[in-house]
Structure 1
Amino acid sequence: MKTKIYLNNEKFLAGMTVKDETELENNNMALHTCETPDNVLGNRRKLAVSLQCGLDNFVCANQTHSSNFHRVTLDDKGRGADRMDTAIADTDTLYTYEPNLLLCSFTADCVPVIFYNQVNGLIGVIHSGWQGTVKEISVKVFEHLKQVEQCNPSDLHVHIGAALSQEKFEVDEDVFLKFKDLGYANDYIYYNDQTHKYHINNQQTVKKQCELAGIPAEQITIDQTCTYVDPAGFSYRQDKQCGRHLSFIIKKDN
């Protein structure tokens, strides 16, 4: 099974699955958009084997383009792993201190944000589509981690996964104004005179949000792969029936 690994050290394992024509449903990982749930579960089981964990270690949310987050405990182990109705409701960020829980985020053009704290062992995933970005989900999550979990932002590292590129993320004025109103996204927007569309770099906007939360720029990496252009990408803009990537992080039990 093809999987991008962004991080694999003695403490953490993180990455993102890719579209793969040799797998069932092109390696779709999402139960909410699939031909057959059994195919998705088969793909998830293969991923679990490759990551040396069980499917019951997965923790999944019902993502709603919100700015809601959830601290995952051992009681959440397996939620959403093999059926949708047990997933954590109305949540677009999961974080935990617990080892051996694979936190999952599903995307097809939206920005997946994977983060970890090298000092205290906290890990998490954020689903930041454009709606999540204009709701400043990343800012809110990292502010919460600072205030409630006493995280020092300089201890946080972020991997921003593959997403829709600025070239392919074209929007009308209504969405442009939402980004403009953030006050810091103007450098990541350009206007196309021919099409009368605005093009927004959602990944760079999210990176800026991480920096505003105090995370050092050199501790933030971006996967420049465009999910629309790259054959290994699932793109909702290109195909409304497409599958989903699964971005993940797990804290190893040393």
Structure 2
Amino acid sequence: EAEGGVAGDAAFGFYYPDDLDALRQAGAEPVPFNTLTDPHLPPDLDGLFIGGGFPEAHMAALEANASLRAEIKAKGEAGLPIYAECGGLMYLSRAIVWKGERRAMVGLVPGDAVMHKAPQGRGYVRLRETADFPWPRLEDAPGVMPAHEFHHSRLENIEGSPRFAYRVVRGAGIAEKQDGIIVGNTLACYAHMRSVGANPWAPRFIAFVRGQIAEAQAERRREDNADAIDMLFDGI
């Protein structure tokens, strides 16, 4: 059984109970952690899910928890699968900018979440997967997937030429009709998904997590075999 950390606190609480059940049905055990007070992630996690919420209302406390931010960034850069929606995307960005204040966030996503008075995306969303979509493909996947968005922030000052998992058919997304920024094994989007037949994101994410676990195990076996061969020749 895979273990997935789920951010659950005053800053992040937008989760469909059915989605958490879908994660369990896919063979994952959601393990809660608190981005405001926990200095470290729970041990031995196989992935992270950071949902929506109001991180801007807690950005000082999120910034103050520097040890957790640094650990999430290091884990993400090392290849831990992470899925983030809306507020989770903001938390993974370099900083949240609101009311003249700038607070440092995780820094895994190369952009700043800048708050605006008017909504920057609101309503139903329709997404089409791009060739860069990192999770396992579905043979009978729908051409366009439903979702929704509501956010006053916009990801600005994006560095480099990031890859995106989705082309936005309807809605705003992150930028230029794109959503789902990809950084290593991290996928972060403004769209809120619901794991239903038309968009079964939960089992697909867990399948991706399991694939990464299998790759890591295979790499360890290769390293162990290489060490054994080296020891054998050292003894000759």
Fold match (TM-score > 0.5): no
TM-score (structure 1 length as normaliser): 0.28
User: Is the radius of gyration larger for structure 1 or structure 2?
Assistant: 2
Between 1 and 2, higher relative CO (CA 8 Å, sep ≥ 6) is seen in 1
